C-alpha cells in the first residue's frame, strides 16, 4: 500500500507543477512572439486556401520578425490595406495584426529590443532550410 501512496503523491505533485507552469502569465515578449508567429502562419494558410477571394493575392506580404524595427511599418501597411474587407479571414487577420501593433507600441514598448531595421529582410525573408524527412 505504501508504494501506491508514494506513486499517487508523485503524480499529484507532477500534475500540480504542470498546472503552475501553464498558469504563469506570459511576458510581453512571449506574447508578441507567439502572436507574430500565429499571424504569419494564418497568412500562409490564407494564401494557400482554395476558398479565398482573388484580392488575397494582392495583399501585402506578411512575414513578421519582431526583432526588426520595420515590422511596425509592415503591420501598419497591412492593417491599412484598403481591399478584402468582405473576406472574413482577412478581416480577422487584420484585427490580429492591429492587436500586435498595439501591444508592441504601447504595452511592450520598453520590453522589446530591435536588432535591425532592415526592411528588405521582411520582404524577402531567409527561410530556414527544410529538414529531410
Query: Each residue of 107-124: pLDDT tens digit?
Result: 887 777 888 888 888 876
Domain spans in the chain, listed from the N-terminal domain onward: 26-121
For range 2-22, the mean pLDDT: 64
In this prediction, residue 15 has a pLDDT band, given cuts at 50, 70 and 90, of low
Lowest mean pLDDT among 22-31, 63-72, 90-99: 22-31
Closest by CA to 62, choosing from 86, 46, 51, is 46
Closest by CA to 103, choosing from 24, 27, 22, is 27
- Classify 1 as helix, strand or coil: coil
- Side-chain-facing half-sphere of 15: CA atoms under 13 Å: 6
Model-level pTM?
Answer: 0.70
Distance CA 15, CA 20 (A): 9
- pLDDT-above-70 percentage for the chain: 71
Distance CA 55, CA 57 (A): 5
122 φ, ψ to 5°?
A: -85, -15
Residues 85, 90, 96, 101: is their CA dihedral positive or negative? negative
Please, which residues bridge with residue 116 across strands? Answer: 68
Closest by CA to 125, choosing from 46, 53, 70, is 70
For range 5-14, the mean pLDDT: 70
Q: pLDDT: is 113 or 31 the higher one?
A: 31
Retrieve residue 53's grid coordinates: 477571394
Distances (CA, A) of 34 to 13, 37, 56: 29, 5, 23
Amino acid at each position: 500500500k505504501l508504494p501506491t501512496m508514494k506513486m499517487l503523491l508523485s503524480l499529484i505533485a507532477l500534475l500540480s507543477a504542470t498546472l503552475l507552469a501553464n498558469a504563469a502569465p506570459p511576458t510581453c515578449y512571449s506574447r508578441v512572439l507567439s502572436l507574430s508567429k500565429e499571424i504569419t502562419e494564418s497568412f500562409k494558410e490564407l494564401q494557400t486556401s482554395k476558398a479565398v477571394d482573388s484580392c488575397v493575392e494582392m495583399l501585402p506580404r506578411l512575414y513578421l520578425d519582431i526583432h526588426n524595427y520595420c515590422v511596425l511599418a509592415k503591420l501598419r501597411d497591412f492593417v491599412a490595406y484598403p481591399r478584402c474587407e468582405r473576406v472574413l479571414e482577412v478581416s480577422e487577420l487584420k484585427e490580429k495584426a492591429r492587436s500586435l501593433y498595439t501591444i508592441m507600441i504601447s504595452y511592450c514598448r520598453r520590453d522589446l529590443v530591435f536588432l535591425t531595421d532592415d526592411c528588405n529582410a521582411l520582404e524577402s525573408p531567409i527561410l530556414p532550410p527544410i529538414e529531410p524527412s
